[in-house]
Amino acid sequence: MVGGMNRRTPPRELARDPETWPEAVIGDVAAATVQAVARALAAALITPRRSLRQLAEGSGVNRQAVADLLDGKSWPDIATVARLEHFLGVPLYPAAGEMRHTHGNGPSRPLRKAAEGTTK
């Protein structure tokens, strides 16, 4: 399993104060990424107003899996995030440089711009 033993602990439990999820301060970069996805997903459900049931039916993602993602109780896989993004028509995964650094440090490695003429 990717992430090894660390994935046994839900992302919200890696926050300094789990009760403040999804706005909690988190030092773990993977948990902070799940947190960013959860915040983006919650915002995407507001307008137009959608229920978890509507999201589950439209995306093909189990309703409980969506609820657990929103609550920080699970580590969603990329297929789940892709299905949710496709149905909602909005990006959920944070783009490079867009993640909020809740731990007070910068990225673990500097962001690089692709060299001119490359495809990245």
Domain presence at residue 107: no
pLDDT tens-digit map of 87-100: 999 999 998 766 65
- Residue 116 belongs to a domain: no
Distances (CA, A) of 29 to 56, 59, 84, 106: 27, 27, 21, 11
> Quick one: pLDDT at residue 110?
43
| Category of 117 on φ-ψ map: left (φ > 0), alpha (ψ -120 to 50) or beta | left
At residue 33, the pLDDT reads 95
**Residue 113 belongs to some domain of the structure:** no
Question: 24: domain CATH number?
Answer: 1.10.260
* Structural domain boundaries enclosing 84: 10-88
pTM, two decimal places: 0.77
Residue 14 lies in a domain: yes
What is the overall mean pLDDT for the chain?
Answer: 84
Q: Are 92 and 84 in contact (CB under 8 A)?
A: yes
More confident residue, 33 or 97: 33
Count up the domains in the chain and report the number. 1
Residue 111: its pLDDT value, please? 46
Say yes or no to pLDDT of 24 above 60: yes
* Percentage with pLDDT > 90 across the chain: 70
Secondary structure class of 19 (helix, strand, coil): helix
Residue 117 lies in a domain: no
Comparing CA positions, the residue from 70, 86, 68, 89 lying closest to residue 78 is 86
Q: What is the mean pLDDT of residues 95-116?
A: 54
Tell me whether residue 101 is in a domain. Answer: no
Give the Cα separation of 77 and 103 in Å (integer): 23
